[in-house]
Amino acid sequence: MLTKIASRNIWRSKKRSLTIITAVSVGLWAGIFMMAFYNGMIEQRINSAIADELSHIQLHHPEFRKEYDIKYYLPEGRKILKNISKDSQIKASAGRIIIKGMIASASGSSGTTINGVMPAEEKALTNLSGKIIKGNYFNPNKTNEIILSEKIRKRLKLDLNKKTILTFQDKEGNLASAAFRITAIYKTINAPYDDSNVFVKITDIDSLAGIPNAINEIAVLLQSNQLLDESQKNLKQKFSKTEIKNWMEISPELGLTISVGDQMVFIFMGIILLALAFGIVNTMMMAVLERTREIGMLLALGMNKFKIFMMIVLETLFLILAGCPVGILLAFATIAFTQQTGIDLSQFSQAYSSFGYSSIIYPNLTARQLGIVMLLVLITALCSALFPARKALKLNPAESLKK
């Protein structure tokens, strides 16, 4: 009976009811879509970092990452790499020599990370060749080739087929340097990464560094991120004397981005729901005050206060829940569409690139997040219903009938 009365009551003022339903729908749509948008940004950044920069797992000498000193290399690195490449859970793996050094031209010099790579393996691991915007990938028949970023090229005023000098300390601490000819220019979506990384063939740098045929880093890309814990555990068992870190341990700021991002989307959703709650409470309070005489008459005729309370609560809940399906459907439709096309923010590409994010975002929403949103909506609905219903309870039947 109360349910029927409450459902009829909400349509006594159609404009007011439709306004609340519309506000709930738009607010829920905006909140869910913004969550999905932020998820897409974070997911894209993590996938990019894994695929293009860090890989899932890296192996080093236990002391290497403390100082990035060339003397801390993997004595049996190539043997370990060969062993790892046979694992069916591993999609690609490559050995590298990582050296902190300087790159110089006639126009100046700057610090850089010199990546000595195995061309074929690196191509499969990070698709370095796919990031080239000018020139050609390493030629197996040529020596002392270098691939540098567009940012470094502009800063040092270099171009294809020009020479640049790399200087660094070798295994014994002596300065070593060599001239390299620019064979290609690359560009990624991560400006800070571009600003500090150059690539040469490992065979052109290992002897100069004093560690011929050695490597000081092995990067491993798995078939799926779900295999991370299992694969890392297996590698630690096989190579117990080697430091084996996953991408979250190598780059803790990315792990922090996930946890902070998760909190931020719910804070944002909470703000939207709080604003909606104030609007709903205000509207329902007005409705209660307008019906003072009616509620007083119901109380005078014997309807107990609990039923009055539940009637107002149900009216508020019906209004909010009526807007939920519309808001959710709008959000799902928008997310589904933008997942296919992406949201192109190319006009802000420089700003996004400076933080390592792509300017094309593909929104994504998890089932867990949707469940939490529904719980928050229910809590908001209940809280919004209590204040108007409490106001109705305080009405005095005799005084109400005089108004």
Look at residue 162 and tell me whether its pLDDT is greater than 80: yes
pLDDT tens string 315-372: 777 877 788 888 889 999 999 999 888 888 777 666 666 666 777 888 988 888 888 8
Q: For 23-77, write each residue's pLDDT tens digit.
A: 888 888 888 888 888 888 888 888 888 888 889 999 999 999 888 889 999 988 9
Domain boundaries, the chain: 2-49+255-402, 62-241
Least confident of 149-153, 207-211, 297-301, 357-361: 297-301
- pTM score of the predicted model: 0.77
Q: Tell me whether residue 41 is exposed, middle or buried, using C-beta atoms within 10 angstroms of its C-beta: 0 to 12, 13 to 18, 19 or more.
A: buried
Task: Give the contacts of 270 (CB within 8 A, at least 6 positions apart).
Answer: 376
Nearest to 165 by CA among 150, 152, 181, 154: 181
CA gap 303, 105 in Å, rounded: 90
Best CA proximity match to 331, nearest among 376, 369, 280, 365: 365
At 2, the pLDDT band (50, 70, 90 cuts) reads low
- Per-residue pLDDT reduced to its tens digit, 226-250: 899 999 999 999 998 899 999 989 9
pLDDT score of 398 more than 60: no
| Cα 217–chain centre separation | 26
Q: Which of 311, 219, 221, 217 is nearest to 12 (CA)?
A: 311
Q: Assign residue 303 a region: left if phi > 0, alpha if psi is -120 to 50, beta otherwise?
A: beta
On average, the pLDDT of the chain sits at 84
Q: Enumerate the H helices of 342-356 as residue ranges.
A: 349-354
Q: Which element (helix H / strand E) includes 115?
A: strand 108-117
pLDDT computed for residue 23 by the predictor:
83
Q: How far is CA 130 from CA 61, 123, 126, 184, 320, in A?
A: 30, 8, 9, 11, 50
Strand partners, 269: none
User: What pLDDT score was predicted for residue 19?
Assistant: 80
Across 379-396, average pLDDT: 72
Contact 31, 373 (CB under 8 A): yes
pLDDT of residue 17: 76
Q: Which residue has the higher pLDDT, 86 or 13?
A: 86
Reply yes or no on whether the pLDDT at 97 is more than 70: yes
